[in-house]
Amino acid sequence: MAMLLNPAQGVTRRSFFRSMALAGAAVPASAMAETEKIAGAGVLREPARDIPVRDDADVIVCGAGPAGVSAAIAAARAGANTRLFDINGCLGGIWTAGLLCWVLDYKTTGLADEITQRLDARDARRAQRRRSRYAYEPEEMKLLLENMCTEAGVKVRLHTGVRAAYREDRRLTAIVTESKSGREAWRAKNFIDATGDGDLAAFAGCGFDLGQPGTGKCQPLTMYALVLVKDAEALKAYLTEEKDTADESQRYRSKTSKLMRELHRAGTPPSYNNPSIFYIRDNVVLFMFNHEYGVNVDDADAITAATMNARRELNAMADGLRKLGGVWDNLRIIATSEHIGIREGRRIHGLYQVTMDDLAKGARHEDAIVRARFGVDVHCLSLDNKEDSHGEITKGLKVKPYDVPLRALISRDLDNMLMAGRCISGDFFAHASYRVTGNSVPMGEAAGRTAALAALSGRLPAQVGISELKLEPET
């Protein structure tokens, strides 16, 4: 462990060596010289060190969101010694730590259907008019995913961040994690980057794209709030009273504009110009009112500022609405997202890039692993520039149901790494469509099975045939 000598912070040579002694760490002579040499330079050269290799797995999955947890369960069920890492204290990513509570472009086959059936078994899901979407209870989802991983024999490590990756030419050989257990190394035959932001691939030096072509702007972040209201049915009726029509989009627009006026009346105009409320269970609802613009996924300070700003805004809006009384009387925030929702991260270069052209023509692929149907959902990139609005950016873009091929999940730069979820290989517009969780689960399932079959048969992922995966893509 190294430390920056900074008398202003009371970190003197004496306190440095005392803390080393307390940490029971041997203080190599070189460390003393190094620290002395660069004190005050604003950089720190860490002394070289050996770290323990904890395991030699068949498959390592980094990130346990909808894609990563599905990949790990599929790999373990295929017989692979599988390890799964996540920085959060729960499995599920945006589904749980992100409090998303709303699945889109949902599939009725494979692991996706099993998750739905098991939520139903615990009465933890609110089916909707349209079969391709539903609301679920995040606590139930946490428990379900932990049970499914335990049953499958996945070795789960929570509170553990993937912090480095080592490769020999085109083979990823090991990752390094940091956690309460310190810095540890893990080796595997195949790796899956399901970090959403493509962290593993970036650490390994793989090529990627990020943001809107030409501007590099990324979609905004959103923090959700789970809220207890006095009477959810009364609230729903109040928000739809003006336009109670069968036309879903008309009803949605009228609800949203009524909500917008209420938030203005409360003195808290929202940062999201399309505020929405989702009905989760009884009088528990979800507020999607917040957007944080211009935040890059590799900037921890910006993500922290966005997180604290979002939580402040959500509480101000709750306080303002409560003061209005009526259907807002007594409303209480029960929870906000522990991990603010990041819509857009790195798109890692694969053996195939899914493009807007695929969406427009409804592409079909021999090695299809999922058929996506969701529209191009680019949230406005800023509030003060018309060019950045959803309408402008997606003007004229039409989507026909299209296939995502296995090749888009196999890294172009590393022979034994796959991607799953929102960091797969695609362009800015295609990403805005296939990124929803209804597609992340089948992607994870395909990546997990491919990585496992390759590891257990001494082949590379690209050498595994689509028929071997025995997937049931929805048609």
Ligand X SMILES: Cc1cc2nc3c(=O)[nH]c(=O)nc-3n(C[C@H](O)[C@H](O)[C@H](O)COP(=O)(O)OP(=O)(O)OC[C@H]3O[C@@H](n4cnc5c(N)ncnc54)[C@H](O)[C@@H]3O)c2cc1C
With binding defined as CB under 6 A, does residue 65 bind ligand X? Answer: yes
For residue 130, count CB atoms less than 10 angstroms from its CB and return exposed for 0-12, middle for 13-18, buried for 19 or more.
exposed
Q: Which positions from 129 through 168 interact with ligand X, judged by CB under 6 A? A: 161-162
User: Out of 190, 336, 433, 437, which residue is the one contacting ligand X (CB under 6 A)?
Assistant: 437
Question: Minimum distance between the CB of residue 251 and ligand X, rounded to whole angstroms?
Answer: 18
Would you say 196 or 320 has its CB closer to ligand X? 196
Question: Minimum distance between the CB of residue 19 and ligand X, rounded to whole angstroms?
Answer: 27
Per DSSP, 111 falls in state H
Taking the C-alpha atoms of residue 433 and residue 423, their distance in angstroms, rounded to an integer, is: 13
Would you say 116 or 440 has its CB closer to ligand X? 440
Contact 426, 387 (CB under 8 A): no
Question: Minimum distance between the CB of residue 244 and ligand X, rounded to whole angstroms?
Answer: 24
Would you say 71 or 266 has its CB closer to ligand X? 71
With binding defined as CB under 6 A, does residue 422 bind ligand X? Answer: yes
With binding defined as CB under 6 A, does residue 440 bind ligand X? Answer: yes
Contact 91, 145 (CB under 8 A): yes
With binding defined as CB under 6 A, does residue 394 bind ligand X? Answer: no
User: Out of 93, 110, 211, 448, which residue is the one contacting ligand X (CB under 6 A)?
Assistant: 93
Give the residue from 379, 343, 377 showing the smallest Cα distance to 271: 379
Bridge partners for 286 per DSSP: 226, 278
Taking the C-alpha atoms of residue 259 and residue 289, their distance in angstroms, rounded to an integer, is: 10
For residue 456, count CB atoms less than 10 angstroms from its CB and return exposed for 0-12, middle for 13-18, buried for 19 or more.
middle
Q: Which positions from 220 through 259 interact with ligand X, judged by CB under 6 A? A: 222
Taking the C-alpha atoms of residue 80 and residue 158, their distance in angstroms, rounded to an integer, is: 20
With binding defined as CB under 6 A, does residue 277 bind ligand X? Answer: no
User: Hey, CA dihedral for 205, 198, 298, 372, is it positive or negative?
Assistant: positive
With binding defined as CB under 6 A, does residue 347 bind ligand X? Answer: no
With binding defined as CB under 6 A, does residue 342 bind ligand X? Answer: yes
Taking the C-alpha atoms of residue 166 and residue 51, their distance in angstroms, rounded to an integer, is: 13
Question: Minimum distance between the CB of residue 87 and ligand X, rounded to whole angstroms?
Answer: 4
With binding defined as CB under 6 A, does residue 275 bind ligand X? Answer: no
DSSP-assigned states of every residue in 385-442 = -GGGSHHHHTTT-----EEEEGGGGBBSS-TTEEE-STTSSB-HHHHHHHTSHHHHHH
Would you say 89 or 325 has its CB closer to ligand X? 89
Query: Side chain identity at 47, as an amino acid letter?
Result: P
User: Out of 35, 82, 88, 394, which residue is the one contacting ligand X (CB under 6 A)?
Assistant: 88
N residues, the chain: 475
With binding defined as CB under 6 A, does residue 421 bind ligand X? Answer: yes
Would you say 92 or 405 has its CB closer to ligand X? 92
Binding mask 175-214 for ligand X (x = CB under 6 A): -------------------xxxx-x---------------
Residues 6+ apart with CB under 8 A from 475: 371
Q: Is 452 helix (H, G, I), strand (E, B) or coil?
A: helix
User: Out of 20, 61, 76, 100, which residue is the one contacting ligand X (CB under 6 A)?
Assistant: 100
With binding defined as CB under 6 A, does residue 404 bind ligand X? Answer: no
With binding defined as CB under 6 A, does residue 75 bind ligand X? Answer: no
User: Out of 60, 81, 102, 189, which residue is the one contacting ligand X (CB under 6 A)?
Assistant: 102
User: Out of 63, 138, 320, 350, which residue is the one contacting ligand X (CB under 6 A)?
Assistant: 63
User: Hey, CA dihedral for 412, 413, 418, 420, is it positive or negative?
Assistant: negative
With binding defined as CB under 6 A, does residue 47 bind ligand X? Answer: no
Bridge partners for 103 per DSSP: 134
Would you say 35 or 197 has its CB closer to ligand X? 197
Would you say 103 or 363 has its CB closer to ligand X? 103
DSSP-assigned states of every residue in 209-260 = E-SSTTT---PPBB--EEEE-S-HHHHHHHHHGGG--S-HHHHHHHHHHHHH
Contacting residues toward ligand X, per CB under 6 A: 62-68, 85-88, 93-94, 100, 102-104, 161-162, 194-197, 199, 222, 339, 341-343, 421-422, 435-438, 440
